[in-house]
Chain A
Amino acid sequence: MNPQPSIKRSHLLDSAPLFEFSTLVNSTLDLKFILGSVLLTLMAKLRVTKSLVLLKTGEGKFRIENCKGVGSELLRKEIRLARPPKKDFAVSQVSSPAWKTFYGAGIERIFPIVSHGKVLGYFGIGGRMDKGQVSAREKEFVDIFINVAASAIDKGIAFQELRSVNRTLDGKIQELKTLFELSKEFTAVIDRERLLKLFGFTLMGQIGVNRFAVCLKDGGVFASRLDTSALLTFEKKIFSLVTSPMRVADFPKRKSLAAPKSACEAAGITAIIPLQSQNEVKGIVCLGERLRGGGYSQADLEFVYSIGNLAIISLENSRLFNEAIEKQKLEDELTIAREIQNGLLPKSLPEIPGFQIAALNSPSKQVGGDYYDLLLTKRGKLILAIGDVSGKGTPASLLMANVQATIRALVPFDLPLAECTARVNDLLFENTGANKFITFFWGALDPVSRSLRYVNAGHNHPFVLRANGTVKRLGEGGLLLGIMKALAPYQEGSVKLETGDTLVLFTDGVSEAMDNEGNEYTEERLEAFLRTVISRTPQEIVSAVQEDVARHVSGAPQSDDITLVVAKAV
């Protein structure tokens, strides 16, 4: 008669599972779990075989978050609704194409999920086992049920958003940590390889890519599983194009960029990030596909840009540092060369009756291979030697040491000079090879007869300035030393030194000393100058010549060693 009691009874019957459901979904903040529970409970209660739930992802945008009994291809599918309905409806009664897909999948009825007046999403159900309509009582249950679910879903969404914000923050913190750590480490590392490796590891770890290449403007390429050779044929174009991080897909559509773009695509390069220092692109980083797939976000590219710019500054510093070290090495080597050369020159000048002697060796910055020696033989003769070794620096110094050792070893045998010269030549030729040679002059001065026997092996002809004003040049001899085995014997020359006569040995460092315009001092000027100072002592003559050469070059850097030996008969 009155249906009221039975409804009440059924309400009571319904309220127990409803309460149970409410406890369940409110006990968790796990949105996935909540949605799953809601669908299962709905399906059981309404005896339907298909259900799904959509949640709002943006203005007018909804995405299928979970579905049961319908094809899984619907999962994560997004639909757009211009005016999201706020009331439940039968899918068959609407014409919107978005809903039509659902109808095709067997979803018949849609219920909105509303919390605080806002539509959070929709439940869809279909495939009722008894093919019947949803009764008023069931409808009432569903309304209450969805209300309970809505508040749990609302909380679940809020929690998920919070978690996602937190994760984004964690990600940012991780990026900052990495940047901080790198900037600290980069300043401590000066080895270029190590720097690039560290940059690579950080890139791989942070971005999840194992195909990349760093291409520097100076030509250096540091690559991991990426071939940039084709791209680098367009180096200029790429370096001027990429002034900020750029995906290859976003290259401007210009005809001139078609070739570089396809070079990138062929090599699997998907993004290029410039390495900038002082507003100049000093290199690029090319990224290949991510190992786990998926493109790079703008944030990823910005991050690579940041660590790249840190790296390039360190690389620049490392380059400058290495240059400084190289320079230092070179200077150290020159110091060694200078020390060798210095050690070879006689520490004190031997004394010989009837003659005054002076000598000078002024090495240039590069240390040329000048050499002179003065030694007395057992029979009391004075050996005067001067030479100029080809080349500069340590190699020249070592060769010079060789010459000195050979000569000092041969002098005690008291062989004729010409024969000795041939032996020195042959020894040097065997030990050095034809590209090394020495211009060499030496003489044996007999203090008793006052005669000088000499051999000139390709050296600048020494002067004998006579007290009577005439000048003799000493040219007898033969080929310079060390270029070939002595075929023809060396010739010996002889000259007598009377009181007041002066012998001047010199190297081309004197005659070829250049001023800033490239004008040489010349042997003519040397001779003319010597004439003006001939009455002075050997020491004074040496100093005067040195000063006159300095006047000539007037501040130009000394390009070669200057060596002078002066002996005067008194």
Chain B
Amino acid sequence: MSNFKVSFRENNNVHVMDLKGYLDAHTTPHLEEAFEKLIAEKKYNILVNCKDLSYISSAGLGVFMAYIEDVRMNKGDIKLSNMSPKVFNIFDLLGFPMLYEIFKDENEAVKKFEAKS
């Protein structure tokens, strides 16, 4: 049994991925599949809601790196929201706030997507 789950939904034309559980080297393929799926469907406005994400490892962060350029080349973005302080600390430690917009609340991020389009 995997203790990591990705589910999809939409919020005002933004494709939201809800991450739940423990994202490490072992569960990374699930997130990879999730991104592959959205990109295959040409859904480039991606918001990753981390409310129920309890842990993320470097390999998990790497998945975001792998797709960011493709997504931005298609005029989309990967934004993140609702991180616990523990999860944010890992993002921060590895310099991700310089590369990704991270929001406290999902709706703020959605508004940012709207403002751009």
Query: Which residues in B have their C-beta under 8 angstroms from that of A185?
Result: 24-26, 59
Query: Which residues in B have their C-beta under 8 angstroms from that of A203?
Result: 62
> How many angstroms from the CA of A468 to the CA of B61 in the assembled complex?
91
The answer to whether A198 and B95 touch across the interface, beta carbons within 8 angstroms, is no
The answer to whether A174 and B94 touch across the interface, beta carbons within 8 angstroms, is yes
Our count of residue pairs bridging A and B at CB distance below 8 angstroms stands at: 88
The answer to whether A201 and B66 touch across the interface, beta carbons within 8 angstroms, is yes
Query: Which residues in B have their C-beta under 8 angstroms from that of A139?
Result: none
The answer to whether B93 and A170 touch across the interface, beta carbons within 8 angstroms, is yes
The answer to whether B99 and A198 touch across the interface, beta carbons within 8 angstroms, is no
The answer to whether B90 and A201 touch across the interface, beta carbons within 8 angstroms, is no
> How many angstroms from the CA of A194 to the CA of B9 in the assembled complex?
28
> How many angstroms from the CA of A200 to the CA of B61 in the assembled complex?
11
The answer to whether B58 and A174 touch across the interface, beta carbons within 8 angstroms, is yes
The answer to whether B65 and A181 touch across the interface, beta carbons within 8 angstroms, is no
**B13, chain A: closest CB distance, angstroms:** 27
A353 within 8 A of B: no
> How many angstroms from the CA of A94 to the CA of B24 in the assembled complex?
60
Q: Which of A167, A197, A204 contacts B61 (CB 8 A)?
A: A204
B57 within 8 A of A: yes
| Chain B 31-71 interface 0/1 with A at a Cβ cutoff of 8 Å (1 = within) | 01000000000000000000000000111111111101100
The answer to whether A205 and B68 touch across the interface, beta carbons within 8 angstroms, is no
Q: Which of B26, B59, B96, B98 contacts A202 (CB 8 A)?
A: B59
> How many angstroms from the CA of A320 to the CA of B22 in the assembled complex?
32
The answer to whether A208 and B99 touch across the interface, beta carbons within 8 angstroms, is yes
Query: Which residues in A have their C-beta under 8 angstroms from that of B58?
Result: 174, 177-178, 181, 201-202, 205-206
The answer to whether A181 and B57 touch across the interface, beta carbons within 8 angstroms, is yes
- Most A CB contacts (10 A, CB to CB) among B32, B61, B68 go to B61
| Chain A 67-91 interface 0/1 with B at a Cβ cutoff of 8 Å (1 = within) | 0000000000000000000000000
A291 within 8 A of B: yes
The answer to whether A174 and B93 touch across the interface, beta carbons within 8 angstroms, is yes
Q: Are A292 and B95 also in contact (CB < 8 A) when A174-B58, A204-B61 are?
A: yes
The count of residues in chain A whose C-beta lies closer than 8 Å to any C-beta of chain B is 28
- Most A CB contacts (10 A, CB to CB) among B29, B58, B60 go to B58
> How many angstroms from the CA of A177 to the CA of B94 in the assembled complex?
13
Closest chain B residue to A203, Cβ basis? B62
The answer to whether A181 and B93 touch across the interface, beta carbons within 8 angstroms, is no
Q: Are A225 and B69 also in contact (CB < 8 A) when A174-B90, A291-B99 are?
A: yes
**B69, chain A: closest CB distance, angstroms:** 6
A182 within 8 A of B: yes
A224 within 8 A of B: yes
**A385, chain B: closest CB distance, angstroms:** 57
> How many angstroms from the CA of A99 to the CA of B75 in the assembled complex?
48
Query: Which residues in A have their C-beta under 8 angstroms from that of B24?
Result: 181, 185
A210 within 8 A of B: yes
B81 within 8 A of A: no
Query: Which residues in B have their C-beta under 8 angstroms from that of A205?
Result: 57-65, 94
Query: Which residues in B have their C-beta under 8 angstroms from that of A208?
Result: 65, 94-96, 99
> How many angstroms from the CA of A182 to the CA of B93 in the assembled complex?
19
The answer to whether A177 and B62 touch across the interface, beta carbons within 8 angstroms, is no
**Residues of chain A having any CB pair with chain B under 8 Å:** 167, 170-171, 174, 177-178, 181-182, 184-185, 188, 194, 197-198, 200-206, 208-210, 224-225, 291-292
The 10 closest A-B pairs by CB, nearest first: A205-B61, A201-B62, A205-B62, A204-B62, A204-B65, A205-B58, A185-B25, A206-B58, A178-B58, A201-B59
Would you list 7 pairs from A and B whose C-beta atoms are within 8 A, ordered by A residue? A174-B58, A194-B29, A202-B25, A202-B62, A204-B63, A204-B65, A225-B69
